[in-house]
Chain A
Amino acid sequence: MRLAGSNPQPSFNSPLSNVGHRGVKWGMGGFKKMELREMVYLSLLATFAIVVHSLETVFPSPLPWLRLGLANIMTLVTLILFGLKAGLYITIIRVVVGSLLTGSFMNPGFFLSLSGGIMSTLAMGFIISIFKNAFSPIGISLIGAFVHNLTQIALAYVLIVGRKEIFLLTPIILGFAILTGIFNGIASTIVVNHLKKVLGGQVGFKGSRVQGSV
């Protein structure tokens, strides 16, 4: 970690400002180059994601695959603040640990959530990096929800059900995805803005997509 005195850059660029979106030093060494502070934030985000993911499986749902996808909020917040690789880490940790907690590890449902989570994270990450400011978190979350649900229904067809009747669910699931996508997007906006306020300039949020919307 650099000392403030040795930093040649302006004073607002505190020693901690190389943490976050811009300054994340993801290298081939994985977490080795990650800073302590950043690791704490990511751990907290992963913890929240696991808790939300586990709590969500407790709530009853009219259809087995119809869920709010609240854990997607944490993924989206991580993607916006820390980038694609961190988002993927959070997703994989969430699904693996969450399924261990709820006892669904290596179930068919586990593979459904893992693939849906990874695909939606990739999609949201690419959307963030390709269309820089075209979408607010609401739009990104919508894309994530759509990709998540489409991946899951396609995989459920290939792996589990094997009957094309499962695609009868598509319209319902897509309609539900719009609602949950918008809801999660609004929640993500609130979380991101709050985190920005709490952390102030300490974390390098310059690349953050929601900079201007506070």
Chain B
Amino acid sequence: MGFKDIIKAMTFGDKVLILLLSVITVLSFYYVKVIFPEGAEASIEIEGKARGSYLLAEDRMIEINGSLGTAKIEIKGGKIRVIRAPCRDKICMKEGWISKAGESLICLPNKVMVYITGEARYDAISW
């Protein structure tokens, strides 16, 4: 009983199912994009205190002095990432780009936190 026999033993139902589930998976990518809006602003906190917020629409480089050293943060094309971090593990750098409201980049050793806000700002205004 080789691998080919197993593939041959797949029924019509299997193939339909694989196709259907693949379509659902691809649709879920789209669905997530619709449900979770792109964030409008990135807020940066150092040691729990707000350092400032930046519009994601404007490309720029930000230098942040955390408790360990200087971290370099890049905003480009509506996304934000940490380019350089002084810490050992570089977890925040490995996270890569983030752009959706609610996502965050956290560097614990350096006590720097970057998170994206979207709708929350407008809720505050309407209150």
Contacts and interface: CB of A to CB of B under 8 A. Distances in A.
Contact of A163 (B21, B28, B102): B102
A46 interface: no
Contacts of A193: 1
Interface stretch (A76-84, A109-117, A167-175): A167-175
B68 to A, nearest CB: 26
Interface residues of A, number: 31
Contact of A168 (B10, B13, B18, B32): B32
Contacts of A186: 3, 6
Interface string B1-18: 101011001111110011
Contacts of A34: none
A23 interface: no
Interface residues of B, number: 25
B100 interface: yes
Given A167-B35, A168-B100, A214-B1, A182 B9 contact: no
A72 interface: no
Contacts of A178: 18, 21-22, 25
Contacts of B103: 165, 168
B62 interface: no
Contacts of A175: 25
